[in-house]
Amino acid sequence: MCHLLGDFFEAVQKDFDKAAKVYEVNCNEYKHGHSCFKIGNYSFTGKGGLKADHEKAQHYFDVGCEQKYSDACLHGALMRHSTSSKV
């Protein structure tokens, strides 16, 4: 249910700061994979009052992946691939 509160703040109220807080707590405290994915995206882009922090985003994607949320696995893998590739 906590994740849905974050979705409400994000989609209905457009309050990204509150949504980020809900997602972060829900990931850190309850290890909810979808919330980890969402806060990973916020951390990557700097949304929700956060500054862009790719290491933090990678951490949240990894936690989400450990909780079997496949989109978090995909984003984490894409980040690893993009930072390891030299053009």
Task: Give the pLDDT band of residue 87 (cuts 50, 70, 90).
Answer: very low
Q: 70 by DSSP, 3-state: which?
A: helix
CA distance 6 to 2: 7
85 φ/ψ angles, rounded to the nearest 5 degrees = -85, 135
pTM: 0.92
Distance CA 63, CA 59 (A): 6
Predicted confidence (pLDDT) per residue in 23-81, tens digit: 999 999 999 999 999 999 999 999 999 999 999 999 999 999 999 999 999 999 999 99
Comparison of pLDDT for 85 and 61, the residue scoring more: 61
Taking 60 as the threshold, does the pLDDT of residue 85 lie above it?
no
Candidate CATH numbers 1.25.40.10, 1.10.3720.10, 1.10.150.130, 2.60.120.560; the one for domain 2-84:
1.25.40.10
Residue 84 has what pLDDT?
Answer: 62
64 touches 40 (CB < 8 A): yes
